Amino acid sequence: MMKHLAVALVAAALAVPGAQALAQSASTVGAKASNGRDTAGGTAGSAAAGGTSASTIGLGANSTGKTGSSSSIAGGGSAAAANGKASSNTRIRENPQMMRAQSKAQAHDGGTWSRSATDTRIKHDGDLSSRTKSMSHVPGGKPAMSTSRVR
């Protein structure tokens, strides 16, 4: 179940139409599936403007059985700029209350920019949530924005 969900989220996040000169776009997608005591889900997004692009993804899964529970979480991101600067980072943290993956990616070329950020959490009780926000902007226009959330 998790493998198919991950493939669907990645394919949807990367399905942003090709960026044309001074074009901008932003799209996000999210899904969550439960089967008894097992849950998997996540969100992903992508943004492009001019010669910049940024994408992030976050996935989580929790399974509860007779001997206890098991959780896993993942996140990632990438960014590119034809003539500007790009950066991406992912942090994964765990404490007694939750596991959390935070990914951010951004690229800019002058006033043209693309950004994407994903925050995925699995609480100690197995509750999974994820949120992705992607944005892009070309000077002189209104920013393109998209947000997806699963709870």
**Alpha carbons 78 and 86: distance in angstroms, whole number:** 9
Q: What total number of domains does the chain contain?
A: 1
Residues 96-136 pLDDT 10s: 899 999 999 999 999 999 999 999 999 988 899 999 999 99
Average pLDDT over residues 13-23: 49
Output Rg (C-alpha) for the chain, integer angstroms: 16
22 falls in which pLDDT band (50, 70, 90)? low
**Nearest-CA neighbor of 45 among 131, 140, 132, 138?**
132
Average pLDDT over residues 11-24: 52
Pairing relationship of beta strands 98-109 and 38-49 according to DSSP bridges? unpaired
Residues 38-54 pLDDT 10s: 999 999 999 999 999 99
Residue 10: is its pLDDT beyond 60? no
Domain of residue 78 covers 2-150
15 falls in which pLDDT band (50, 70, 90)? very low
**Nearest-CA neighbor of 94 among 75, 79, 111, 78?**
75
Average pLDDT over residues 71-83: 96
Instruction: Output the pTM of the full model.
Output: 0.84
Q: Which residues contact 92 (CB under 8 A, 6 or more apart)?
A: 73, 74, 75, 99, 100, 101, 102
